[in-house]
């Protein structure tokens, strides 16, 4: 019997269009001999649309903007899960950004007792919030770039003091980042006070909390983690680039990104990086998948940049490229593993909920 896979995508975040690109790649590579694939589209205004089974591959992302059928609430879409054996359903969420990868959707699916791909409520919420991630990694002893963080309330109350603190303790150049946003949305590199003030105002368009980080000269190197209780780490990869950081347009629109896999690291440096990545995954109580990004300096110092608990699966995305490198697995097999990990974690939770742990 084929498993019903409900791919949730779109959403109300600024990463709506990135989500569609990920959804297209996932849906087109799910094995139709093993799965019945159903789209669930969350429109930019929050309305939900459920589509019919997708028996064939889709041509482009525009076909994912479901327009036929009645707009519904999420309750109306999810009602069908209570009409069948829910053990034969799994949700594959690819809603990037707030209300998708920040634990809110995961909490809803937990309450509905439905298996889903990827990280749980805690890992999703803490991993999405860059400031909370930093605090957890500090406790885990993982090196990070110097930073400061503050809220919109604090900024409105004492902007001059904060600007002075950033200049004296962080310095220039620095990066301003909304706490809860991905795909480089709202992120700016600042070379002086004027740019810093403008960047802070821009970042507060996306979140009430922001982080300001010291720039670390070096390469950004990424690894992919796959697994639950026994996670494995991929080879390392990096993007060859000329600019200081990847803007949203650079990542998803320019079409000129070049991946280097494996990254230019010797075995000793990769070994340390791999250990840190697995340590970060476990510190967040990760499940299923995670991408962990590091800076590697010219002196081979390794510094954690950030984690991504729901990395993209687009044509430019590093996560699937790392895990399919060298023919270890195909893209379709990677999706099989992720669904298998989701069902494994779901069965484990059911044992605990039924009070039979250790039996």
Same domain? For 24 and 97 the reply is yes
**Nearest Cα to 266, choosing from 257, 277, 274, 278?**
274
pLDDT at residue 233 above 80? yes
Does residue 333 sit within a domain?
A: no
15 is catalytic: yes
- Which residue is listed with tokens 């309750």? 75
Between CA 74 and CA 70 the distance in angstroms is 12
Is residue 277 over pLDDT 60? yes
The answer to the question of residue 161 being in a domain is yes
pLDDT tens digits, one per residue of 41-79: 999 988 888 888 999 999 899 999 987 655 666 666 666
- What CATH number does the domain containing 198 carry? 3.30.1490.20
Which comes out higher in pLDDT, residue 251 or 310?
Answer: 310
Largest CA distance in the chain: 63
Nearest 5°: phi and psi at 73? -85, 165
CATH number of the domain within which 55 lies: 3.40.50.20
Q: Phi first, then psi: what are they for 349, rounded to 5°?
A: -65, -35
Q: Is 183 a catalytic residue?
A: yes
Instruction: Pick out the residues of the known binding site.
Output: 293, 306, 308
Q: How confident is the model at residue 98 (pLDDT cuts 50, 70, 90)?
A: confident
pLDDT digits (tens, 9 = 90+) for 117-157: 999 999 999 999 999 999 999 999 999 999 999 999 999 99
Catalytic residue chosen out of the listed positions 13, 19, 124, 183? 183
Q: Is 270 contained in some domain? A: yes
Looking at the fold, whether 18 and 109 belong to one and the same domain comes out as yes
Shared domain check, 311 and 210: no
Residues 210 and 225 in one domain: no
State the catalytic residue, choosing from 15, 101, 215, 238: 15
Residues 238 and 321 in one domain: yes
Domain count, the chain: 3
The CATH number for 257's domain is: 3.30.470.20
CA distance 115 to 106: 10
Q: Are residues 188 and 267 located together in one domain of the fold? A: no
Does the residue 342 lie in any domain?
no
Cβ proximity of 179 and 149 under 8 Å? yes
Distance CA 341, CA 352 (A): 17
> Could you say which of 116, 137, 154 is where a domain stops?
116
In a domain, 346, yes or no: no
Whether 181 and 280 share a structural domain: no
Domain span at residue 198?
A: 146-214
Same-domain status, 92 and 157 = no
Q: Does residue 279 sit in the same domain as residue 210?
A: no
The first and second tokens of residue 33, run together, are: 């001999």
Pick the more confident residue, 177 or 82: 177
Going by the annotation, the residues of the binding site for Mg(2+) are 293, 306, 308
What are the C-alpha distances in Å from 65 to residues 11, 41, 62, 77, 229?
11, 7, 6, 16, 36
CA distance 280 to 89: 30
Question: Residue 252's pLDDT is what?
Answer: 47
Say yes or no: 322 and 254 in one domain: yes
**Among the listed ranges 113-122, 310-319, 333-342, which one has the minimum average pLDDT value?**
310-319
Q: Could you tell me if 81 and 101 lie in one domain?
A: yes
Q: Read off the pLDDT of residues 172-227 as tens digits, 9 standing for 90 and up.
A: 999 999 998 765 778 999 999 999 999 999 999 999 999 999 999 999 999 999 99
- Residue written as token pair 């209780």: 229
Q: Is 223 found in the same domain as 169? A: no
> What predicted TM-score, i.e. pTM, was given to this entire model?
0.89
Q: How many other C-beta atoms can be found within 10 angstroms of the C-beta atom of residue 352?
A: 10
Contact 39, 9 (CB under 8 A): yes
Sort residue 295 into left (φ over 0), alpha (ψ -120 to 50) or beta: beta
């Amino acid at each position: 019997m084929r498993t019903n896979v409900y791919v949730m995508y779109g959403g109300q975040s600024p990463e709506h269009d990135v989500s569609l690109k990920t959804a297209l790649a996932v849906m087109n590579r799910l094995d139709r001999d093993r799965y019945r694939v159903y789209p669930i589209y969350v429109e930019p205004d929050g309305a939900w649309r459920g589509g019919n089974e997708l028996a064939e591959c889709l041509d482009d992302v525009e076909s994912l903007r479901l327009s036929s059928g009645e707009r519904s609430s999420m309750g109306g879409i999810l009602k069908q899960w209570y009409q069948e054996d829910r053990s034969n359903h799994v949700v594959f969420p690819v809603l990037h950004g707030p209300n998708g990868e920040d634990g809110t959707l995961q909490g809803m699916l937990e309450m509905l007792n439905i298996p889903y791909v990827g990280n749980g409520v805690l890992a999703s919420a803490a991993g999405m919030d860059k400031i909370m991630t930093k605090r957890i990694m500090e406790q885990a002893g993982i090196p990070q770039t110097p930073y400061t963080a503050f809220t919109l309330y604090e900024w409105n109350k004492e902007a001059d003091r904060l600007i002075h603190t950033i200049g004296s303790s962080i310095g220039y150049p620095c990066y301003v980042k909304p706490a809860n946003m991905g795909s480089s949305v709202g992120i700016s590199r600042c070379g002086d006070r004027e740019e810093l003030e403008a960047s802070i105002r821009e970042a507060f368009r996306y979140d009430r909390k922001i982080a300001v980080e010291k720039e670390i000269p070096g390469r950004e190197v990424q690894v992919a983690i796959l697994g639950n209780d026994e996670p494995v780490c991929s080879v390392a990869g990096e993007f060859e680039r000329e600019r200081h950081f990847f803007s949203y347009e650079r990542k998803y629109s320019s079409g000129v990104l070049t991946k280097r896999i494996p990254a230019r690291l010797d075995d000793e440096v990769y070994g340390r990086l791999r250990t840190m990545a697995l340590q970060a995954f476990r510190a967040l109580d990760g499940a299923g998948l995670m991408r962990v990004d590091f800076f590697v300096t010219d002196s081979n110092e390794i510094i954690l940049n950030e984690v991504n608990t729901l990395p993209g699966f687009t044509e430019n995305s590093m996560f699937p490229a790392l895990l399919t490198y060298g023919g270890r697995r195909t893209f379709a097999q990677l999706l099989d593993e992720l669904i298998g990990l989701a069902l494994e974690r779901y069965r484990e939770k059911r044992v605990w909920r039924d009070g039979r742990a250790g039996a």
